[in-house]
Amino acid sequence: MWTAFRRTVVVAWGLASGFASSVVLVAAVAGAEPPGGPVPPDAASSDALAAARALFTDALQDEQAGRFEVALGKFERVREVRETASIEFRIASCLEGLGEPAPAYRAYRRARALGGQDPQSADVSRAASERLDALGRHIALLTLVLPDPAAAGLSVRVDDAGFDLAGAGSVPLPPGRHVVNATSPGATPFHAEIVLAEGAQIALTVNLPPERSPSAEPVRATGGRSLARAGWWTIGGGAALVAASAVLLVVRQEDIAALNRACPGGACRPGADATETDLESTRSRALAEGPIAVACGVAGVAAIGVGLYLVLAKHGSAAGVVRLPATPFVAPLAPLVARAGAGLAFVGTFR
């Protein structure tokens, strides 16, 4: 419905302005000087200009008759001979008649820019501005915010169409879903999918962070394996200390039992098998074995705790989370200290 109505409006507007436009355009094609001065003789021959003038007349008749696709092809051929604001305006008008508002918006914008450079095309520039205002309500404008300065080799594509970095600005797009991709040497590719509503004006920042080194992961993995290996070695050492503590406690209990048999109640019987020197040695050894056993046990439990931490930290880092048990290893330490807390009940003097 909108397309049919728009085509009707375009045809009516074209009929009303066709005569004036044809006069302006024929003059432009026939040899009006561009803003930069006269065209050199080798830039466009008189034969080419005559053919372009005839082609323009045919294209204008096709446009006024509603044959926009045919007229568009002819106007584009005329533009190859000489690009002016008026010819760009007629191309935009044909695109609008074909129901392609986004390309038409770009062409009207180009016509306005060319008209601003040529005082003789001021009317065309104003007419292009009016059409831009009208079309702006039915399309979406996407502004891409690019890195500053732009990296060498930067490539940006919107819906698989190249984006002109030199003429960076808002990109007219039809409402709906669109895809933006950007690549640059040594940077992580950028990809974004957006949905634009009619009349929307959106700014999108193109972020291209540097690529991570490929060797980063292997180094991290090697470090994790070394961490786990150190943890297991620490656990092994701690277990050995705990075992030594247990052995010392057993030997200490045997020494205490030997002293009790030789000297019940602290009084050594005459004629005992052990000499006074042996008993003193056994007593000294029993006194030393207790603290040493406690120290080995505490150090062993601490070493086991550190080793488990290193192993769990390695596995947790692989999953992104390190989980450790709350108040680790407190329970095993209490009975060990309790067992080692008994003193040597050895009183009296040796005779």
Bridge partners of 144, per DSSP, are 204
pLDDT of residue 12: 44
62: tokens are 């096709």
pLDDT at 30 over 70: no
Q: Tell me whether strands 155-158 and 161-162 are parallel, antiparallel or unpaired.
A: antiparallel
CA distance 89 to 108: 6
pLDDT recorded at residue 6? 46
Q: Is the pLDDT of residue 96 over 70?
A: yes
Neighbours of 212 (CB within 10 A): 9
Tens digits of per-residue pLDDT, 111-128?
Answer: 999 998 888 889 999 999
- pLDDT at position 69 is 95
* Mode of pairing for the β-strands spanning 201-205 and 140-145: parallel
Q: For residue 322, what pLDDT band results from cuts at 50, 70 and 90?
A: very low
Q: What integer best gives the mean pLDDT of the chain?
A: 74
Which single residue is written with the structure tokens 């933006």? 180
Tens-digit pLDDT profile for residues 146-201:
877 667 788 888 988 877 766 667 888 999 999 999 888 888 898 999 999 988 98
More confident residue, 217 or 315: 315
Largest CA distance in the chain: 145
Predicted confidence at residue 191, as pLDDT, reads 92
Per-residue pLDDT reduced to its tens digit, 81-95: 988 999 999 999 999
Q: Which structural domains are found in the chain, ordered by start?
A: 1-137 (1.25.40.10), 139-211 (2.60.40.1120), 216-340 (no CATH)
At residue 197, the pLDDT reads 92
Rounded Cα distance, 276 and 279, in Å = 5
Which residues are CB-neighbours of 269 under 8 A, at least 6 positions away? Answer: 262, 263
Give yes or no for residue 329 having a pLDDT over 50. no
pLDDT beyond 80 at 273: no
Cβ atoms of 146 and 169 within 8 Å: the answer is: no
Banded pLDDT at 296 (limits 50, 70, 90): confident
What does pTM read for this prediction? 0.50
* Residue 32, pLDDT above cutoff 90: no
- Band the pLDDT of 68: cuts 50, 70, 90: very high
The number of beta carbons lying within 10 Å of the beta carbon of residue 337 is 12
Which range of 74-83, 234-243, 277-286, 311-320 scores highest in mean pLDDT? It is: 74-83
Could you give the CA distance from residue 52 to residue 149 in angstroms, rounded to a whole number? 42
Q: How far apart are the C-alpha atoms of 177 and 158, rounded to whole Å?
A: 11
Q: In this predicted structure, what is the pLDDT of residue 35?
A: 40
